[in-house]
Amino acid sequence: MHEFRWPLLGVIIPVLIIGFTAYGSHYFILRHHLSTTQQVIYECFASMIWISYIMAIYTSPGHPPKDYTPKKGEWKRYCTKCQSYKPPRTHHCSKCNRCIMEMDHHCPWTLNCVGANNLPHFMRFLFWVIVGTAYLFVQLCERIVGYYDDSDKPMYLIKRSELVAVVVFTPIDLFILLSITVLFIRCLINIGKGMTQIEIWEWDRIDSQFYSKRLWKSIRLSYKQSYGKELPQLTTWTNRAPVNDDDALPMEEMNQHEINEIGEGEALDGVATESQSRGVESDATAQQEFNNDDDDEDEEDIVPQNFTIDDLMFPYDYGVWGNLKHFLGSPFMWLVPWGKPKGNGYDLEPSSDYKEDDQLGLPWPPDGGNQNITISPPSDDELKRGIRNYSQLKKQLDPRSNAKRSSWHNDTGERLLDYGVYVDDSDDDKL
């Protein structure tokens, strides 16, 4: 998250840019070429930008009720800062110093969090900026084409102030149009998936750590803490049959399978005999280790082998249409400045798909954000045994694989802290 030395600059800069672009272009260019109706339409776009921006700044992102108590069967999450329980999807913002329902991120450009209640305003703001700048861009292009057509005319026939304005506003307008469109599409994709930016971040973390001991130790701990018993066999998590044939292979067959592949690969290099004999040897070792694991369910076995991130479900994904309505409210109100989201931000029902497939009653994130787990990096032997494909190997070797939730960062380098979320070492989401 970008932080300003003087936070007010976060609002002053956009105000200056919007005002300068909208009214400068109108005064120096558009009023000479557009009809009155077209000018009124252009000013309406500008007004919608101002209104939605002001609403995004002044509308509260939504704070959970002070006396919120988790519903029966709901994961108990406690905010040590607010000294109260927080609903699912709520995070404590370190900048606003309050709990924010369905927190998306803390926005330095509005000096406010984007959360359940003001996300529609934020999206409307982006939308109207795109509409306004796209409209202006078409006008600027027409002027540029006009100059090109008139290039054989004498210079004094061209209004100089307008020419300067076109040169100044075209790059500014194009830059705003492109950057805001990218941001808008990114937000729409998140909304379509039913997730806030923070939840997308959380999903990426789980994906990246999926084959790590840290994650599975935390999941087991989360489960034990809430149900007082060990996590059941993970094949019962979903009813889905393995899709890939390879997935269906029992461990001992899989090792054989893999070793055959190694043997074949090396045979091409002309060392077939040696590799095959080595192959048999490691096969026997792996088999022995596998059996040992079977006897005592030790740490070695903690990462499930025929289980992928696709088996995991996000509890609040109601399908694209349902998600759009959840975050932005009724479609008839999407463009209306006072349009509200569907729910109240704390009375959250998991999707019916999720309820059918109860995901063992684990919270989101399934490791409960447990931070206090110590982990040693996987040994060469463990890597050899557990790895079935390249993507798994890549994940296990990723230095972030066993990072704590507070220090994990996504591919663009963002930590939870960068969204404004308060995470301390005693952890954000623990029981």
d(CA 19, CA 49): 10
Whether 136 contacts 169, CB under 8 Å: yes
Count of residues in contact with Zn ion, rule CB under 5 A: 11
* Interface with Zn ion, residue 106, by CB under 5 A: yes
Considering only 18, 56, 57, 99, the residue that binds Zn ion (CB under 5 A) is: 99
Nearer to Zn ion, 106 or 121 (CB): 106
Binding to Zn ion by residue 423, rule CB under 5 A? no
Residue 101 near Zn ion by CB under 5 A: no
Residue 395 touches Zn ion, criterion: CB under 5 A: no
Span from 346-354, 355-363, 391-399, 414-422 in contact with Zn ion (CB under 5 A): 414-422
CA dist 19 and 264 (Å) reads 68
Structure tokens at 30: 């558009």
Q: Is the CB of 106 or the CB of 388 nearer to Zn ion?
A: 106
Residues catalogued as catalytic: 107
Does 81 help bind Zn ion (rule: CB under 5 A)? yes
Q: Which is nearer to Zn ion, 1 or 174 (CB)?
A: 1
Among 1, 54, 82, 333, contact with Zn ion (rule: CB under 5 A): 82
- The nearer residue to Zn ion, 57 or 176, going by C-beta atoms, is 57
Q: Is 421 near Zn ion (CB under 5 A)?
A: no
Q: Which stretch binds Zn ion (CB under 5 A): 44-52, 92-100, 169-177, 356-364?
A: 92-100
For position 92 contacting Zn ion by CB under 5 A, the verdict is yes
Q: How far is the CB of 87 from Zn ion (least distance, A)?
A: 11
> CB of 414: closest distance to Zn ion in angstroms?
16
| Contact with Zn ion (CB under 5 A) among 29, 30, 79, 249 | 79
3-state DSSP call for residue 99? Answer: strand
Alpha helices in 268-388 (DSSP H): 272-295, 319-328, 352-356, 380-386
Closer residue to Zn ion, CB minimum distance, 63 or 214: 63
CA distance linking residue 123 with residue 126, whole number of Å: 5
Phi, psi of 84 (to 5 degrees): -155, 165
Site string for Zn ion, 111-150 (x = CB under 5 A): --x-------------------------------------
Write the DSSP string, 26-55.
Answer: HHHTGGGTS-HHHHHHHHHHHHHHHHHHHH
Measured distance CA(204)–CA(79) in Å, rounded: 24
User: Among residues 11 and 82, whose Cβ is nearest to Zn ion?
Assistant: 82
Helix (H) or strand (E) holding 92: strand 91-93
Query: For Zn ion, which residue of 18, 49, 56, 93 counts as binding (CB under 5 A)?
Result: 93
Sign of CA dihedral 78, 82, 84, 86: negative
Say if CB 202 and CB 365 are below 8 A apart.
yes
User: Rg for the chain (alpha carbons), in Å?
Assistant: 28
Question: CB burial class (10 A; 0-12, 13-18, 19+) of residue 126?
Answer: buried
Q: Which of residues 175-204 bind Zn ion (CB under 5 A)?
A: none
Provide the minimum distance between the beta carbon of 53 and Zn ion in the complex, in angstroms, as a whole number. Answer: 17
List interacting residues with Zn ion (CB under 5 A).
Answer: 79, 81-82, 92-93, 95-96, 99, 106, 113, 420
